[in-house]
Structure 1
Amino acid sequence: MIVRIMGEGQVELADSHFAELNKLDDELLAEMQRGDGEGFRRTLHALLDTVRQLGEPLPDDSLEPSELILPSPDATLDEVRAMLSDDGLIPG
């Protein structure tokens, strides 16, 4: 799966990593619902760091269709809230 982190680029990520990412996504959603800004920031960074660590970066000149788009590390709680689906940032 191709994942885009806004403002950074794309990485290719194996589907086998989505259980781990969904756990972080669930935490992020819960923190947003509670209005926990500090927890939201910490979990957003953990989610993005995990994608970076587990994914294989695509070359900068490559532009593949992204199956998943994640917010930039400096995105606000309101910006991320606007990106959410019923499942959070990551479907499933």
Structure 2
Amino acid sequence: MIVRIMGEGQVKLADSHFAELNKLDEALLSEVERGDGPGFRETLHALLDKVRELGTPLPDDSLEPSELILPSPDATLEEVRDLLSDDGLIPGG
């Protein structure tokens, strides 16, 4: 799956990593719903760090369609709230 981190670029991520990422996504959804700013910030950074760690960066000139778009590391709680679905940022979680 191709994942875009807004403002950074794209990474290719194996589907086998999504169970691990969904745990962070569920925590993030809960923190956004509670309005827990510090917890949200910590979990968002953990989620993005994990995507960077597990993924393989695509070249900047790559034009692959992104199957998943994640917010930038400096996104606000309100901006992420607008991006969330009932499943969180990662569908099927």
TM-score category (smaller protein): over 0.9
Q: Which residue of 2 aligns with 1:35?
A: 35
TM-score (norm 1): 0.99
Q: Which residue of 2 aligns with 1:2?
A: 2
What secondary structure sits across from 1:85 in the alignment?
A: coil
Q: Which residue of 1 aligns with 2:53?
A: 53
Q: Which amino acid aligns with 1:39?
A: G
TM-score (norm 2): 0.98
Q: Which amino acid aligns with 1:90?
A: I
1:76 has 2:85 as partner: no
* Identity among equivalent pairs (%): 85
Q: Which amino acid aligns with 2:33?
A: Q
* Structure 1 portions without partners, runs of 5+: none
What secondary structure sits across from 2:11 in the alignment?
A: strand
1:20 has 2:23 as partner: no
* Structure 2 portions without partners, runs of 5+: none
Number of aligned residues: 92
How large is the Cα RMSD of the aligned pairs? 0.4
Q: Which amino acid aligns with 1:11?
A: V
Per-residue deviation at 1:47?
0.1
Whole-angstrom CA distance in 2 between matches of 1:63 and 1:79: 25
Per-residue deviation at 1:63?
1.4
Q: Residue deviations 1:21-53, cap 9 Å, x none? A: 000000000111111100000000000000000
Per-residue deviation at 1:86?
1.0
